[in-house]
Copies of this chain bind each other. A is one copy, B any other.
Amino acid sequence: MRIGELARKAGTTTRTLRYYEARGLLPARRGENGYRRYDEEDLRLLHQIRLLQDFGFELEETRPFVDCLRAGHPSGDSCPASLDVYRRKLDELDAVIERLRQVREQMGAQLARAELEASAQQPPAPRCELTQAPSGRREQERGPDDDAVE
């Protein structure tokens, strides 16, 4: 199959596939006309990459898994190198989560303190003019925003 079809099947874009190829992660054979040609095996590799990306892996970190699959193993994590990456990522993940948890805690305390002080000042009349909304209005739809975990 050609690049467009593979992209559709994997739910990604042709630009992304060319990018992966440029990184040496998913090289393609070429037909006589110079078009890239892929097969089902490539689709599997690509699925592996996307899965790990969704987990927050950097592209380079998916390489051991892809190599493992390409070497003929049943799954990308059948090789020691992949397991090492898993373990490292788990450690990282634990560290990040813990840090965020602490930040969350401190911020929650700050907010509580600030709200308390505000309510001690504000009761009679609205004063602080650096705002527009008088109170809650917090739905703020969540757009295509997401990760950015450090």
Give the B-binding residues of A (Cβ under 8 A).
Answer: 24, 27, 29, 39, 41, 55-56, 64, 67-68, 71-73, 75, 77-84, 86-91, 93-97, 99-101, 103-104, 106-108, 110-111, 114-115, 117-118, 128-135, 138-140, 142, 147, 149-150
Contacts and interface: CB of A to CB of B under 8 A. Distances in A.
As for how many copies of this chain the complex holds, the number is 2
B90 A104 contact: yes
Contacts of A29: 138-140, 142
B55 A96 contact: no
Contact of A108 (B73, B90, B111): B90
Nearest to A136: B87
A84 B39 contact: no
